[in-house]
Chain A
Amino acid sequence: MEIVLFLFIAPVLAAVIQPAIRTIRSRSIAAVGSAIVISGGVIALFFLDIKESPAFFTAHSNAVNMAVLAGEILLSVYVVITGLKHKRYLAVLLMLAQIAIILGLELFYGDRLSAAHNLFLDRFSIIMAFIIGIIGSLIMVYACGYMKDFHTQHPEVRDRSSFFFIVCYLFLASMFVLVFANNLVWLHFCWELTTLASFLLIGYADTDEAVNNAFTALTMNLLGGLAFAGGIAYLCVAHGIVELDRLLAMNKYSVVLPVVLLSLAGITKSAQLPFSGWLLGAMVAPTPSSALLHSSTMVKAGVYLLLRLSPLLAHTLTGSMVTLVGGASFLVASLIAVSQRNAKWVLAYSTVANLGLIVACAGIGSAGTLWAGIFLILFHAVAKSLLFQSVGTVEHRLHSRDIEDMDNLINRMPRVTAMMVVGISGMFLAPFGMLISKWAALKAFIDIDSMLGLVLIVLLSYGSAATLFFWTKWMGKIISMKNKKIESGNMDAAVSRQELSSESIHAVLTVVLCLAFPLISQLLVEPYVSRISGIDYGIARGNYVIMGIMVSMLIALPVIIIRLQRHAQFVMSDGYTSGHTVSSDRHYIGSLGIDRKISMKNIYMKEYFGEKKIFAAGTAAGILFIIAMVAGALI
């Protein structure tokens, strides 16, 4: 309980001291300090509280409830004013409807709103806290280095760094409460806080595009928030409950409508089709905030809620529709990612795809899918955060996010390339976490033995083929070597210490998590899954051994081979170019004495995976599934 409070207070304190900070140096000291404190808190949480989980805390206080209410009102006033200022009436309308519901509840059913247990803690929350605390605070360390470069390279953007840091830390704080809240009203308040925080972060650059995209994000998420509020209102009025645990204990056929509404909230927040637009638009934000949104916060809140609800979704029409939305998002986003050249867009589509897979897992709600879903959240957070950070670093050195410009990156920025390779491998290669989770998800889909399972299997097999394709071609691009040797004056030197250290820790985490994977599974995930699903769930031990061997080989082999051949004298030669002499900057003299340049571009298969066509189809499918879900609940 104390640690839970501590985890909330620490980021708030970090936010509070930001205005007092003047120099980059002191800001990074503060960021490193808070990263250490918050990570320490998370680790303490793991060691001290794991035994007693699930634990429920009363934490009852009228003051807090009043503060939440006041916060909701303040938030809505702010949104309404900004909405009116920018003439975004839809957002204003959604906000007003939402606050009306909350106020109405407070006025007419105020007595029912006090929860028996406001906070709780179980193994799933510990995993989420790990993601938010460690990944989130590392991103803030990275941001110290990044924002400095960002403002030197973009003089047109007003320097509001302290504002940026304040919002980010508050974001983390509200995420912490979100994963520990048992009181749905509190949960909803934090939900709206994260919406507001992402609105502020997306609009940071204050250009027309940024403001536009920020409002798209706001509107879509307010729609989800409204659904959330509606769900709470229904639960409160019809069943008199505002607690998550009591909701989960209900018979799933008596709470169909609120579950539909909450799932809708989860789907908007996790940027599933047809609501993916806001997450893609969020790319205009500075990279650290993208990393936050995509890996440790925001979208993870959506899938967190859906996974929590998954016992109520299992074997229901709602669940099937949620699954189909997720599956469709996975396939569509993976296919579109093949056609993208912009590194950040590839990352964004891959986020939508992976979240889709988690959502699909949540909708199925069997033990196996629950297990896979939680691991997908964990591994995705680490690898995606690493990738965003390295793309941000590269962008500042090359002044481009285009993957084609990352040609021969290994010659120019060997260290950052190494991190990027780890991140990319973490996203799709065999012994790494994402693929293992996918494998588990696939098995779980087979085991549910219904037509829905088959549909998912087909979606998954096509989607993972596309995933394999776009990650490998990216990896190939950055590891292709222009010269035999790494350039001496490489650009790594110019990368700030904060960025490099955060990235290195992420890279190490990606590998360590894979090695510690059986441990995490046994200590955290399997007990949780067994408790929720009521059956003893576990992965065959033999597979752990194989994975362990593969991971260690994957790390050790290249090192050993390169070490062994250290003294070997190979005959060096250039790549085969039909006998032409090609200079190291890849020019040659053609047959008519003309100077020609060789350049290699990747395949993007735009004619098959064109963004517009597929995205439109996916959106249509998403809308259809959601209509079916809502209609099913109403009937």
Chain B
Amino acid sequence: MKIILGVILYIVAAPLVGGILAGIDRVLSAKLQSRVGPPLLQPFYDVLKLFEKRTMIVNRFQNAYAWCHVIFMAMTGAFFFEGGDILLAVFALTLAGIFLILGAYSSNSPYSYLGAERELVLMLAYEPMVILTMVGMYMVAQSFSFMEIAASQRPIILYLPGVFLGFLYILPMKLRKSPFDISSSHHAHQELVRGLTSDFSGSMLALIEIAHWYETTLLLGLVYLFFSFNPVVGVCAAFGTYFLGILVDNSYARLKWELAFTSAWGIALVLGGGNLAILYFIAGG
């Protein structure tokens, strides 16, 4: 019963949190560029407007992909926060991501297609680091459950500083932020139009936006886990990370996919793998 309530709470609350974060992102970015910027609730206006518009589709399968994307994204988050296995949650997150990619492939337009291809390259780039992060969490907290890790009272960040840095490095890829917004950008005028989402419109685009909010909360939940020994610190750290992301987003140019891929793999190996190796040594010796 408690779990069901929790799931419902998550499904309702997560997009609100994600949406407000997106709003803060836009306001802050505007301030950084010395503009006034849109109202805080602008992302909600945008999504509601998209529901008001007609939906233009290339083929009917696209809708199924968009729906599956958002449903699996929401489910992954619920699963993650309600104490499921976080490693399994990461794989489920991949499944949700794959649906969006397939939707973009399905439309067969050059921009969507290239966007899908680049998103895949990004997945290739960040996947090792994500798995290593989960493994690190397990090694420190001896559990794969969000609740138990959060309750373990161990300052995970002290054990996994390298893993945390590596995770920070790949975070912009998942949040679609510069310097890794190569597959689809929040901002217009990218060389791929809107990349992945070029051929989604109206309510389908709105669904994808909502899915992105879910993903944002999930990722920040992961950041929280690093600092979960103290909930206040944890929440601050999660938001701090997000603001750091905004700062980086506004101050760095977009990288090429080659560099994104090689650097992410290198960092995963050096920071992630190195950190875990040290943990193993300490545990063994």
Cross-chain contact A435 with B101 (CB below 8 angstroms): no
Cross-chain contact A598 with B127 (CB below 8 angstroms): no
Cross-chain contact A458 with B273 (CB below 8 angstroms): yes
Give the chain A neighbours of B35 by CB distance below 8 A: none
Query: In the assembled complex, how far is the CB of residue B68 from the closest CB belonging to chain A, in whole angstroms?
Result: 5
Closest chain B residue to A421 by CB distance? B102
- Which of A120-128, A345-353, A556-564 forms contacts with chain B? A556-564
Cross-chain contact B56 with A439 (CB below 8 angstroms): no
Instruction: Answer whether residue A583 sits at the interface, using C-beta atoms and an 8 A cutoff.
Output: no
- Which of A62-70, A149-157, A286-294, A444-452 forms contacts with chain B? A444-452
Instruction: Name the one of B61, B85, B111, B268 contacting A481, with C-beta atoms under 8 angstroms.
Output: B61
Cross-chain contact B56 with A571 (CB below 8 angstroms): yes
Which chain B residues (106-130) contact chain A, with CB distance < 8 Å?
106-114, 116-117, 120-121, 123-125, 127-128
Give the chain B neighbours of A574 by CB distance below 8 A: 58, 109
Give the chain B neighbours of A603 by CB distance below 8 A: 117, 120-121
Instruction: Name the one of B94, B125, B193, B198 contacting A430, with C-beta atoms under 8 angstroms.
Output: B94
Knowing A464-B127, A480-B106 are in contact, say whether A442-B56 is a contact too (CB < 8 A).
Answer: no
Instruction: Name the one of A429, A439, A573 contacting B98, with C-beta atoms under 8 angstroms.
Output: A429
Question: Hey, which bits of chain A sit against chain B, CB under 8 A?
Answer: 408, 429-431, 435, 439, 442-443, 446, 449-451, 453-454, 457-458, 460-462, 464-466, 468-469, 472-473, 475-477, 479-482, 484, 540, 542-543, 546, 550, 553-554, 557-558, 561-562, 565, 570-577, 598, 600, 602-603, 608
Cross-chain contact B94 with A439 (CB below 8 angstroms): no
Give the chain A neighbours of B98 by CB distance below 8 A: 429, 468, 472
A576 to B198, CA, bound (A): 7
Cross-chain contact B117 with A572 (CB below 8 angstroms): no
A439 to B138, CA, bound (A): 13
Give the chain B neighbours of A562 by CB distance below 8 A: 60-61, 63-64
A-B pairs with beta carbons under 8 A, tally: 192
Knowing A439-B88, A473-B117, A576-B199 are in contact, say whether A484-B59 is a contact too (CB < 8 A).
Answer: yes
Interchain residue pairs with CB less than 8 A apart (20): A430-B91, A430-B92, A431-B95, A443-B87, A450-B284, A453-B280, A454-B280, A462-B268, A469-B120, A469-B123, A472-B101, A479-B106, A481-B106, A543-B84, A546-B88, A550-B92, A571-B55, A572-B57, A576-B198, A603-B117
A554 to B265, CA, bound (A): 31
Give the chain A neighbours of B224 by CB distance below 8 A: none
**What 0/1 readout, one digit per residue, does chain B (244-271) give for beta carbons within 8 Å of chain A?**
0000000000000000011001001100
Query: In the assembled complex, how far is the CB of residue A160 from the closest CB belonging to chain B, in whole angstroms?
Result: 41
Cross-chain contact A468 with B124 (CB below 8 angstroms): yes
Give the chain B neighbours of A464 by CB distance below 8 A: 127, 131
Give the chain A neighbours of B17 by CB distance below 8 A: none
Give the chain A neighbours of B120 by CB distance below 8 A: 468-469, 472-473, 476, 603
Instruction: Name the one of A430, A461, A484, A554 contacting B127, with C-beta atoms under 8 angstroms.
Output: A461
Knowing A443-B87, A480-B106 are in contact, say whether A454-B276 is a contact too (CB < 8 A).
Answer: yes
Q: Identify whether the interface residues of B are mostly helix, strand, loop, or mixed.
A: helix
Question: Hey, which bits of chain B sit against chain A, CB under 8 A?
Answer: 54-61, 63-64, 67-68, 71-72, 75, 79, 84-85, 87-88, 91-92, 94-95, 98, 101-102, 105-114, 116-117, 120-121, 123-125, 127-128, 131-132, 135, 138-139, 144, 193, 198-199, 261-262, 265, 268-269, 273, 276-277, 280, 283-284
Cross-chain contact A575 with B273 (CB below 8 angstroms): no
Cross-chain contact B124 with A572 (CB below 8 angstroms): no
A321 to B16, CA, bound (A): 52
Closest chain A residue to B67 by CB distance? A561
Top 4 A-B pairs ranked by shortest CB distance?
A575-B109, A476-B105, A465-B127, A461-B131
Knowing A454-B280, A575-B108 are in contact, say whether A468-B132 is a contact too (CB < 8 A).
Answer: no
Query: In the assembled complex, how far is the CB of residue B280 from the closest CB belonging to chain A, in whole angstroms?
Result: 5
Cross-chain contact B108 with A558 (CB below 8 angstroms): no
A466 to B127, CA, bound (A): 9
Give the chain A neighbours of B61 by CB distance below 8 A: 479, 481, 562
Cross-chain contact A457 with B132 (CB below 8 angstroms): yes
Give the chain A neighbours of B106 by CB distance below 8 A: 476, 479-481
Question: With contacts A442-B87, A542-B85, A565-B60 known, what are 16 further pairs, Cβ within 8 A?
Answer: A430-B91, A430-B95, A442-B131, A454-B277, A458-B269, A466-B124, A476-B113, A479-B61, A480-B106, A481-B59, A484-B58, A553-B71, A562-B63, A570-B63, A571-B55, A571-B56
Give the chain A neighbours of B117 by CB distance below 8 A: 473, 476, 602-603
Give the chain A neighbours of B284 by CB distance below 8 A: 449-451
Give the chain B neighbours of A484 by CB distance below 8 A: 58-60
A550 to B101, CA, bound (A): 19
A455 to B164, CA, bound (A): 20
Give the chain A neighbours of B116 by CB distance below 8 A: 476
Knowing A449-B283, A468-B94, A576-B109 are in contact, say whether A570-B57 is a contact too (CB < 8 A).
Answer: yes
Query: In the assembled complex, how far is the CB of residue B113 from the closest CB belonging to chain A, in whole angstroms?
Result: 5
A572 to B107, CA, bound (A): 12
A454 to B275, CA, bound (A): 11
Query: In the assembled complex, how far is the CB of residue A454 from the closest CB belonging to chain B, in whole angstroms?
Result: 5
A449 to B282, CA, bound (A): 12
Give the chain B neighbours of A430 by CB distance below 8 A: 88, 91-92, 94-95
Cross-chain contact B105 with A477 (CB below 8 angstroms): yes
Give the chain A neighbours of B88 by CB distance below 8 A: 430, 439, 543, 546
Closest chain A residue to B129 by CB distance? A461
Knowing A439-B87, A476-B101 are in contact, say whether A570-B108 is a contact too (CB < 8 A).
Answer: no
Query: In the assembled complex, how far is the CB of residue A313 from the closest CB belonging to chain B, in whole angstroms?
Result: 21
